Amino acid sequence: MTKSSNNAGIYNFLSLLFLLLTIGTVVLVVILMLRPAPVEVLDVASLPTPIILPTDTETPTITPTFTPATPVAETAGRVFVYKLPDTLSDTVGEFEQGTVLEIIGVTVNGDWYEVRLPGGGSGWIQSSPTITRFSGDRAALQIVGTATFTPTVTFTPTATDTPSQTPTITNTPGPTDTPSATPTPSVSPTPSPSPTPTGPTPTLPPTLSPFLFALRNEIEFLPNANSAGCSWTGISGSVLQQDGQPVTQQYNIRVFTENGDFESLVVTGSNTTFGEISGWEVPVANVLNTRTYLVRVESLGGTPISDNVRVTFPGDCTKNRAVVRFIQTRDR
């Protein structure tokens, strides 16, 4: 009985020991699994110095864009060159699309360019943007074809008859017994006055303006009639023919300031407030102001065909719309 009890105690002790070892092993394994991995500390000083190899960098090539000072026209298609600025005149040349021609002159209305021909001489091409593309300095364009009148004053003098003076000779006889020589008087001629021109004083004709259009009458200031009321300032007007009827051909109207901080371009017929066919309107501000603007007529090619008209607003709500009417002054 005693021996069996001893064996059972040893068995129980070994079982308990095995259990404790098992538990300890499991705990150790769990601790090892949950422990963070060791961080390896590198000695930077012991590392080799990296060598950076240069890489090729492509340098972009900048192609400058030049704007020629000399005005030129590039043909937008097949273009005929005429002897005169008229499609009914003889042709003196023909060029394909992309040909660049030097411009040496422009008509008063801006519809034709005089160009220098490559083989010598000159001719005329139309300035429409659908035919030619302009580039260069517009200020360098020279207006050609303007008629120049030289007044000739003709005087018609009326001759005045001047009677000739007949001298009277008086003989003085000497004593009878002693005759003496009779003196011969000398006759001095009477000068005849030069003819004096008579008739009305000739009147010289007025100087012909180089521009096709001019201001018709004084600038008129009116209150704005649209819904903006006083919160609006603008310039309206129309372009008329010599007979006072609206022009049927379209023109550009350019409104700008001298310092260049405002510029607007519209075409005739774009607004019917002051003309069904040739009316136009340019809003310049959303408030009342007292600024000065310049207005002129241009061809569709951009050539000025009127002088600059100066418009200065008074800053008055009853005068915040300026009406500027241009009229054609002569034939083309």
pLDDT beyond 90 at 152: no
Q: What is the pLDDT of residue 238?
A: 95
Q: What is the pLDDT of residue 64?
A: 45
* Tokens standing for residue 165: 């003076």
pLDDT beyond 90 at 182: no
162 vs 322, which has greater pLDDT? 322
Residue 239 to residue 277: CA distance in whole angstroms = 9
Decide if 56 is inside a domain: no
Residues 118 and 221 in one domain: no
The mean per-residue pLDDT over the stretch 283-299 comes to: 95
The mean per-residue pLDDT over the stretch 180-206 comes to: 57
Q: What is the pLDDT of residue 141?
A: 83
Using CA atoms, how far residue 31 sits from 20, 26, 268, in Å, is 16, 9, 93
Q: What is the pLDDT of residue 135?
A: 87
Decide if 197 is inside a domain: no
User: Among 224-228, 238-242, 272-276, which range has the highest average pLDDT?
Assistant: 238-242
Q: What is the pLDDT of residue 210?
A: 83
Instruction: Show which of 140, 174, 192 is a domain's final residue.
Output: 140
Quickly list DSSP for 271-286. --TT-TTT-EEEEEES
The mean per-residue pLDDT over the stretch 300-325 comes to: 95
Quickly list DSSP for 23-58. HHHHHHHHHHHHSPPPPPPP-GGGSPPP-PPP---P
Lowest model confidence (mean pLDDT) among 14-28, 42-56, 83-97, 133-147: 42-56
Pairing of strands 292-298, 132-135: unpaired
The residue assigned the tokens 């009985």 is 1
Instruction: Show which of 106, 140, 174 is a domain's final residue.
Output: 140
Decide if 286 is inside a domain: yes
The mean per-residue pLDDT over the stretch 169-192 comes to: 54
CATH number for 78 = 2.30.30.40
Residue 155 to residue 319: CA distance in whole angstroms = 53
Other Cβ atoms less than 10 A from the Cβ of 268: the count is 23
Instruction: Show which of 108, 140, 172 is a domain's final residue.
Output: 140
Q: What is the pLDDT of residue 153?
A: 45
Range of the domain at 126: 72-140
Phi, psi torsion values for 311, nearest 5 degrees: -120, 120
Sign of CA dihedral 206, 208, 209, 211: positive
CATH number for 290 = 2.60.40.1120
166 vs 109, which has greater pLDDT? 109
Decide if 219 is inside a domain: yes
Domain tally for the chain?
2
pLDDT beyond 60 at 159: no
Quickly list DSSP for 211-225. SSEEE-S--EEE---
Residue 92 to residue 88: CA distance in whole angstroms = 12
* Tokens standing for residue 37: 């991995």
Decide if 166 is inside a domain: no
pLDDT beyond 90 at 292: yes
For the sheet with 263-267, list strands across it.
263-267, 252-256, 292-298, 309-312
pLDDT beyond 60 at 38: yes
Residues 324 and 217 in one domain: yes
pLDDT beyond 60 at 183: no
